[in-house]
Amino acid sequence: MTQQLDYTASPSKDTLKLLFHPTSYMGAAALLDGLTPEQATTRPESLPHSVAEVVAHAHFWLEWVLNVARGGEPVPTPHAAVGWPAVEAEGWETLKAAFLQNLEASQTFSQQDLDRPLFTSFYYGWEKNSVGATLAGIAVHTAHHLGQVIAVRQALKLWPPPAGAYSW
């Protein structure tokens, strides 16, 4: 029997701090460091996305959640492709800076009122979610895609980043 998750409950502020400021895996800034725009937008032959495309996807949803958590109107996403925006080499540095800035904002925001509902009106079931549960979900989503960034960098033989990384 599958247990239903309670998305109205929020994790603790300490849990969210851990999710957004990881101690057990490499942070996003270090993970993305050292990539030129050309490297970031190169799609390996064996993989479906470039580093920039994966970051653009993670950033799209992080920005979407932050906007709604701050009280903004949700922008409808009619299909999954909307969440995978194209990135050209000349847009890499801007994307990377905006993504890192939103990650930092998420850390700060995750220490505020987490128990309030994400929406006050119907939005495809999301109105049942608390801000805290939604932030936890986007933190895990982001971490998942940062793991993909490592795989893309490895496929391009661009791993580890300049500061080094654990090899096991």
Asked if the model's pLDDT at residue 105 lies above 60, the reply is: yes
The domain limits of the chain are 13-155
Residue 168 has pLDDT above 60, yes or no: no
Residue 118, pLDDT > 80, answer yes
CATH of 13-155, one of 3.30.300.20, 1.20.120.450, 2.40.30.170, 1.10.10.10: 1.20.120.450
Is the pLDDT confidence value at 73 over 60? yes
pLDDT band for 57, please (50, 70, 90 cuts): very high
Q: What are phi and psi of 117, to 5 degrees?
A: -65, 145
Q: Is the pTM of this model over 0.85?
A: yes
- The pLDDT of residue 77: 86
**Tell me, what's the pLDDT at 14?**
86
pLDDT at site 157: 96
Q: What is the DSSP string of 108-157?
A: HHTTS--SSBS-SS-STTGGGSBHHHHHHHHHHHHHHHHHHHHHHHHHTT
Which residues neighbour 80 within 8 Å (Cβ) at sequence distance 6 or greater?
A: none
The pLDDT, as a whole number, for residue 92 is 98
